Structure 1
Amino acid sequence: MALHTLLGANGTIASALLPVLQAEGQQVRLVSRNPKPVPGTESIAADVLDYEQVLHAVKGSDIVYMLVGIQYNASVWERDWPVIMRNVINACKAANARLIFFDNAYMYGKVDGDITETTPYRPVSRKGKVRAGVAQMLEAEMRSGALKGIIARAVDFYGPGVTDKSAAGVLVFANMKKGKKAQWFLNADVPRSYNYTPDAARALYMLSQSEDAFGQIWHLPCVSPALTGRQFIQLAAKEMGATNSVTVLPKWLLKVIGWFNPFMREMQEMQYQDAFPFRFSSSKFEKHFHFTPTSYEAGVKATAQWYLAQP
């Protein structure tokens, strides 16, 4: 039985990964600034900006999952992400632990066509430049052989239990639950890839168990071809018993909202992901692991059932 340590244990992906690890009979350590005790697991409080605390948190680990999320602010990212990545890399090297970094797709920038693991980094945002930098930091360690690591990338996600950290959760399912029309950012008629959280969690565990997966970048499973926002909303409306009409939030309105909402203000540099087609390919993972991503029909149905069951 190996020790799997989750850095950022209170987040969405950690919450989906924990039951997978428990079902597989693995030993689990939950690490965050304020970890929530879970029966059958160990909890350690640690600040990833403090190297000694990170080192203590990963000591004795076989696999470390870096699932950390920090304040959604470009200046904070520029200041803190390089420190966090260096701390985690050095701690994993000292502990002789393998590292799986749960990454996003910001470093690719605006891409025409499918985004794959070989798509070059051409970030068009401050946050994208930060993510390119920390990814390259980890890639250099993997190439040198100093650390056995994996970069596992995902885009925006949806799934049962996913609420405020998901555009689909906030704009579609939560609005329908309240009897309101769904909303969508900028353009509801271009394809937009999503990862289904149970698939992403299962894929992370599969990667951890595959010796030849280390030293590589992997895109976590998502269905291809991607649906447009309008198609996604139609599926959700069917399962939620709601109207399938949609209110598209235009750029000018999002800018006005950003005057009062810091998160929406920070989202403005990422608007290319919603204004233009955003196709994320996981064919490498699917072929290597003979994995079929959960269909949008099944994923939306399970997500809708969870939302409808909430008080």
Structure 2
Amino acid sequence: MTDRHLVVGAGPVGRHVAQMLAARGSEVVVATRSGTDTGFAGITHKRLDASDSDALSAEAEGAAVLYNCANPGDYTAWDQFWPPLASALLTAAERSGAVLAITGNLYPYGPVDEPMHEGLPDAATDHKGALRAQMWADAKALHDAGRIRAIEIRSSDYVGTGVGDNGHVSRQVPGAMQGKRAWVIGRKDQPHTFTDVLDTARLLVAAAEDGTAHGRVWHVPSNVPRTQQEAITDVLASVRRPPVGVTAMPAPVLAAASRFVPMLRELRELSYQWTRPYVLDDSAARQHFAMEPTPWDEVCRRTAVQ
């Protein structure tokens, strides 16, 4: 196996993956549509339309792993963004022989009444969840047919370094640090798993390079669930800031606003994640990879100072 790695996407996960690989001396190429420079030494940055299967395949030639760390800039445009990119990634993985390592999420499961484990069916009916479920189903089918090698890792909502507006907690931090009230979706008192974005990158790399881990989904080891109010309070306390008021946006207000704000309309469709316990069972990955999550206090500090 070569030690060349192609990372598609320079968002929170892609940046951590690239930095981690470069730090150990691997050859790393980060490909984005804009040619974004991650600012880390030892990484080559390429301007590339990854939905162009021929261009992506050419760049993936000779790579040991092709990482799907793409992070759509427009949350409302997934239906246009993902299908051509997912197709190109499958084509490039098959042509190049690189392992396809997919950064997934929990959307495919849809609403659940138990801790989410990898044995649950991908039963989502909302368009985002169904789309992500189909992406993994397509990759799994090619893997099972022996045409590619693929894995997908799934995490809950991101916290940690570099998450910013990509996280429900971290987007509240700038205002909360100034003593402003935090507004959250759903309920503020339900247990919810939050995943350190660095731990997501750690598992993605580990699973990609472990042949016994291929062909299935893995859940990222994450800390004990916290409510939204507890998580925001913990982040502030980690840098010795006092707690702030946390208010759940009333459902009628969210419903009315979603009629005019596309982003809120998308979030409302997934609001079930915040109205009941949303808990990740990560025991399989902990056992297989002997991996534990980054301590919560450290994750909170990195969330506060990003």
Q: Do Structure 1 and Structure 2 share a fold, with TM-score over 0.5? A: yes
Deviation digits for residues 67-116 of structure 1 (CA, Å, limit 9, x no counterpart): 1122322xx43344232222111111111111101111111000111101
2:51 corresponding residue in structure 1: 49
Does the 8 A contact of 2:180 with 2:244 survive in 1? no
For residues 40 and 286 of structure 1, the distance between their equivalents in structure 2, rounded to whole angstroms, comes to: 30
Shift of 1:132: 1.2
- AA aligned to 1:233 is I
2:15 corresponding residue in structure 1: 15
1:211 corresponding residue in structure 2: 211
1:167 corresponding residue in structure 2: 168
**Is 1:146 paired with 2:139?**
no
**Is 1:229 paired with 2:231?**
no
Residue aligned with 1:61, SS: coil
Residue aligned with 2:75, SS: coil
**Is 1:72 paired with 2:75?**
yes
Deviation digits for residues 260-292 of structure 1 (CA, Å, limit 9, x no counterpart): 432122111100001111111111110111111
2:109 corresponding residue in structure 1: 108
Q: Output the TM-score relative to the length of structure 1.
A: 0.91
- Give the alignment's Cα RMSD to 1 decimal: 1.7
Q: Output the TM-score relative to the length of structure 2.
A: 0.92
Q: Point out where structure 2 has 5 or more consecutive residues left out of the alignment.
A: none
For residues 179 and 190 of structure 1, the distance between their equivalents in structure 2, rounded to whole angstroms, comes to: 23
For residues 19 and 55 of structure 2, the distance between their equivalents in structure 1, rounded to whole angstroms, comes to: 26
1:252 corresponding residue in structure 2: 252
User: How many aligned residue pairs are there?
Assistant: 301
- AA aligned to 1:102 is T
Deviation digits for residues 153-186 of structure 1 (CA, Å, limit 9, x no counterpart): 1121010222111111112x22212321223212
- AA aligned to 1:86 is S
Does the 8 A contact of 2:176 with 2:244 survive in 1? no
Residue aligned with 1:6, SS: strand
2:123 corresponding residue in structure 1: 122
1:155 corresponding residue in structure 2: 156
For residues 194 and 45 of structure 2, the distance between their equivalents in structure 1, rounded to whole angstroms, comes to: 31
Sort the Cα spacing of 1:80 and 1:299 in 2 relative to 1 into closer, same or farther, 3 A: closer
2:296 corresponding residue in structure 1: 296
Sort the Cα spacing of 1:161 and 1:82 in 2 relative to 1 into closer, same or farther, 3 A: closer
Sort the Cα spacing of 1:51 and 1:105 in 2 relative to 1 into closer, same or farther, 3 A: same
Q: Point out where structure 1 has 5 or more consecutive residues left out of the alignment.
A: none
Does the 8 A contact of 1:176 with 1:242 survive in 2? no
For residues 162 and 187 of structure 1, the distance between their equivalents in structure 2, rounded to whole angstroms, comes to: 22
Does the 8 A contact of 2:107 with 2:124 survive in 1? yes
Does the 8 A contact of 1:11 with 1:69 survive in 2? yes
